[in-house]
Chain A
Amino acid sequence: MIRCRGIEKSFSDKKVLSGIDLDINDGQIFGLLGPSGAGKTTLIKIITGQLSYDGGSALIMDKEAGDLTREDNRRIGIMMDNFGVYDRFSCTDNLKVFADIYGTPYAKIAESLELVGLKSAAKKSASDLSKGMRARLQLARVFMHSPEILFLDEPTSGLDPRSSKAIHRLIRDKKKEGCTIFLTTHNMEEAYELCDTVALLNEGRIVDIGAPDELCRKYDSKKTIRVHLNTGEDIELPCGEESGKKIDELIAAGKAETIHSSEPDLETVFLELTGKKLEEE
């Protein structure tokens, strides 16, 4: 569905993307993880044809991104962090504008609003919506014309956990419907929960790519198992047959309270690879 080879992009003298290679298959949720300024939004803009690139190739639906037609654009839904809504319009009127453009029947508006949980706010002015509701209104706009590919740029950025969870549920539902989803985030939990594949982007380069749990296992340098005992003591055992026996004994004796493997989370993997944190403090 999306295939990038050696994408290069510079703004003036500053190189923002360098040698980007990635493949995204149909029906997959792909996560691009990186700190602010890593080049995530630039890459989305390139793949969706909003921005030209200096080298390489970006294919989407078997077409160069720069050659996308109006009809191709209708197969794509884009929710960018900075995309606005019409503040003076109600939620319904906001969607009416895009229903007219896409030729979608107005009946789909109520459906889309219900899908994102904004049915009761249909007549509410967009200026009166909370940040989470505005994000859901944007999602309703994106979902309304049933696109095949969704680009979601930091869809839960700055949202409370409840709104984030609601958006995660919507993203999963879209995946079930067969939608291919390209998601950028600097929230490693979000990436781990939602994505089939993640790419770690740092200073315009992909430092590693793979399934989230594979990446975590790959960078598990300690390879230990930590057991918390009911005495309050923690013991760390190396992975192996001997440790297995020891853990069996602890369980049989009723001493083991919790058992955890030592593989790192994505945040730690990113830190190990780049020396940087994903989320700025």
Chain B
Amino acid sequence: MKNILTIVKKQIRDTVKNKPVLIQFLMFPLMTLIFENAIKADMPELFFVKMFSSMFVGMAPLVATASIISEEKEKNTLRVLMMAGVRPFEYLTGVSVYIWVLCMAGSAVMASALPSGDIPFFMAMMGTGCIISIFIGACIGIFAKNQMVTTSLMMPVMMVLSFSPMLAMFNDKIEKAARFVFTQQIRVAVDGMSFESAGRFGVCVLAANAALALVLFFAAFKKKGLE
């Protein structure tokens, strides 16, 4: 437990200094606030909260997790931590907890535009989505040798996860494919602010995506470890 807290503490110290990761946490919450307040006319209710929330889930936790792990691998600071007695699961838990908490803080900022009754459901959906996204980011971070490979692997995954819900709104063919992606189901659920709006299929997609992310994470960890 002490080592997990140490990793969280280390990440908190790095938050303001690590600009590329900080931007991930700030970008969508700030854009949501600005757009929701600046553009009111001819827009569906809470359009930007609903659109940006699924983009946030598909982008921020994934990019932050993959970037942090791959940077530590590339710079060999991860090995120093391991040699100092930090175990891989402690490191991964510390990083994941830190990212999840920051993402929830970002989600809370986005939720400030919602009616108070919708906030618990919104936060629950964002929390679930962020966990799945963190696992996928960890897979990439573990699998990639360095930051360059991480970027190459991360970009297409991030594009699919974060942009498919938005594109699905404008194109039926994309919607048919995107419905199997958890971020699209989060957008649908957040759209109606209930599980009913996502339907049984949506819940199954969320569960299947979560299971797949977990399996991929353990497979990557078993194959590559944290070295």
**Cβ < 8 Å to B, chain A residues 79-101:** 80, 82-89, 93, 96-98, 100-101
B13 at the interface (CB under 8 A from A): yes
A228 at the interface (CB under 8 A from B): no
- By secondary structure, the B interface counts as helix
In the complex, the answer to whether A88 meets B14 with C-beta atoms within 8 Å is yes
With beta carbons under 8 angstroms apart, the residue of A88, A100, A103 that contacts B18 is A88
B3 at the interface (CB under 8 A from A): yes
In the complex, the answer to whether B6 meets A89 with C-beta atoms within 8 Å is no
A216 at the interface (CB under 8 A from B): no
With beta carbons under 8 angstroms apart, the residue of B79, B85, B86 that contacts A83 is B79
In the complex, the answer to whether A89 meets B14 with C-beta atoms within 8 Å is yes
B77 at the interface (CB under 8 A from A): yes
Residues of chain B contacted by A86 (CB below 8 angstroms): 10, 14, 77
- A74, A85, A93, A101 — most chain B CB neighbours (10 Å): A101
In the complex, the answer to whether A84 meets B76 with C-beta atoms within 8 Å is yes
In the complex, the answer to whether B6 meets A83 with C-beta atoms within 8 Å is no
A197 at the interface (CB under 8 A from B): no
B203 at the interface (CB under 8 A from A): no
In the complex, the answer to whether A48 meets B9 with C-beta atoms within 8 Å is no
In the complex, the answer to whether A101 meets B81 with C-beta atoms within 8 Å is yes
User: What is the CB-to-nearest-CB distance from A142 to chain B, in angstroms, rounded to a whole number?
Assistant: 10
| A100 CA / B3 CA spacing, docked (Å) | 8
- B76, B83, B84, B87 — most chain A CB neighbours (10 Å): B84
Residues of chain B contacted by A84 (CB below 8 angstroms): 75-77, 80
Interface size classification for chain B: 20 to 34
B176 at the interface (CB under 8 A from A): no
In the complex, the answer to whether B10 meets A97 with C-beta atoms within 8 Å is yes
Asked if A102 meets B14 with Cβ closer than 8 Å, knowing A84-B76, A86-B77, the reply is: no
**Cβ < 8 Å to B, chain A residues 38-87:** 48, 50, 70, 73-74, 78, 80, 82-87
Report the nearest A residue to B6, measured CB to CB: A100
B173 at the interface (CB under 8 A from A): no
**Cβ < 8 Å to A, chain B residues 1-17:** 2-3, 5-6, 9-10, 13-14, 17
Asked if A73 meets B14 with Cβ closer than 8 Å, knowing A85-B77, A86-B77, the reply is: no
Report the nearest A residue to B9, measured CB to CB: A100
Residues of chain B contacted by A80 (CB below 8 angstroms): 76, 79
In the complex, the answer to whether A83 meets B76 with C-beta atoms within 8 Å is yes
Report the nearest B residue to A50, measured CB to CB: B83
In the complex, the answer to whether B77 meets A78 with C-beta atoms within 8 Å is no
| A82 CA / B74 CA spacing, docked (Å) | 10
Residues of chain B contacted by A74 (CB below 8 angstroms): 85
Contact with A along B69-102 (1 / 0, CB 8 A): 0000001110111011111000000000000000
Report the nearest B residue to A82, measured CB to CB: B76
In the complex, the answer to whether A102 meets B84 with C-beta atoms within 8 Å is yes
In the complex, the answer to whether A73 meets B18 with C-beta atoms within 8 Å is no
Asked if A101 meets B6 with Cβ closer than 8 Å, knowing A50-B83, A84-B80, the reply is: yes
In the complex, the answer to whether B14 meets A101 with C-beta atoms within 8 Å is no
Residues of chain B contacted by A102 (CB below 8 angstroms): 84-85
Residues of chain A contacted by B81 (CB below 8 angstroms): 97, 101
| A87 CA / B9 CA spacing, docked (Å) | 16
- A48, A84, A89, A102 — most chain B CB neighbours (10 Å): A84
User: What is the CB-to-nearest-CB distance from A11 to chain B, in angstroms, rounded to a whole number?
Assistant: 14
In the complex, the answer to whether B77 meets A101 with C-beta atoms within 8 Å is no
With beta carbons under 8 angstroms apart, the residue of B6, B76, B87 that contacts A97 is B6
| A100 CA / B9 CA spacing, docked (Å) | 9
- 16 intermolecular pairs with C-beta atoms under 8 Å apart: A48-B83, A50-B83, A70-B85, A73-B83, A73-B84, A83-B80, A86-B10, A88-B14, A96-B13, A97-B10, A100-B2, A100-B10, A101-B81, A101-B85, A101-B86, A141-B80
Q: Which 6 A-B pairs have the closest CB atoms?
A: A84-B75, A70-B85, A88-B17, A100-B6, A84-B76, A84-B77
Extra contacts, 11 of them, besides A86-B10, A101-B81, A101-B84 (Cβ < 8 A), are A50-B83, A70-B87, A78-B83, A83-B79, A84-B77, A85-B77, A89-B14, A97-B9, A97-B81, A100-B2, A102-B84
